[in-house]
Amino acid sequence: MTLPLLVVTAVAAEAEAVRAGADPTHVVVEPVGVGPAAAAAGTARLLATGNYCAVISAGIAGGFVGRAPVGSVVLGVRSIAADLGAETSDGFLPVDELGFGTSVISADPALVKALAAELPDAVVGDVVTLSTVTGTQATADRLAKSYPQAVAEAMEGYGVAVAAAGLPFAELRTISNPIGPRDRGAWRLKEAFAALSTASGRLWTACG
């Protein structure tokens, strides 16, 4: 018997959007909280009480301008803790360069390949995890320069990846807004949730 796929989201609205499209016989969907710490703890709890074939961190996200347009679907090949490190007089120093671990966790290649085959229009690249959502052009420019393969930013992927602990992991996002100065009038939440539901209709194939 094939084990179900676990899809975790930050909030209930995202979980509802995934459930609207996902096959409930093959996909379990649960909200685990906002931010990497809540996401890691919530995911670990679910994995400790159930058996799953893989874990996907899913939800809406901000897109890097020129890389992932509003309304697009994103598949993360790496989840990067972009604010895990130290501030120095020369700028931000990632935890990797401090010698205290890694800020980068790669998604499972086979899982990403399977999802990409089902979502051929998806933008594939890195997704940065931040505890504070970008709200200025200066920060957006710094992130774009520091992470040239990043296509989206969210708040949970890295935490979910840590909790997955060897289980196949990937990140699925739909873009509701460009990252940079906060302009709520430019956000397209309805469209992003609809895209998330549509993409979730293909998730049942992730575990073969």
pTM of the full structure: 0.93
**pLDDT band at residue 1 using 50, 70 and 90 as cut-offs:** low
Distance CA 59, CA 31 (A): 10
Each residue of 151-163: pLDDT tens digit?
999 999 999 999 9
Encoding tokens for residue 103?
């800020």
Mean predicted lDDT score pLDDT of the chain: 93
Please choose, from the candidates 195, 208, 163, the residue with its C-alpha nearest in 3D space to the C-alpha of residue 75. Answer: 195
**pLDDT band at residue 87 using 50, 70 and 90 as cut-offs:** confident
Domains in the chain: ranges and CATH = 5-207 (3.40.50.1580)
Encoding tokens for residue 184?
């709520």
pLDDT at 77: 97
CA dihedral sign, ordered 47, 50, 52, 56: negative
For residue 100, give the DSSP letter. S
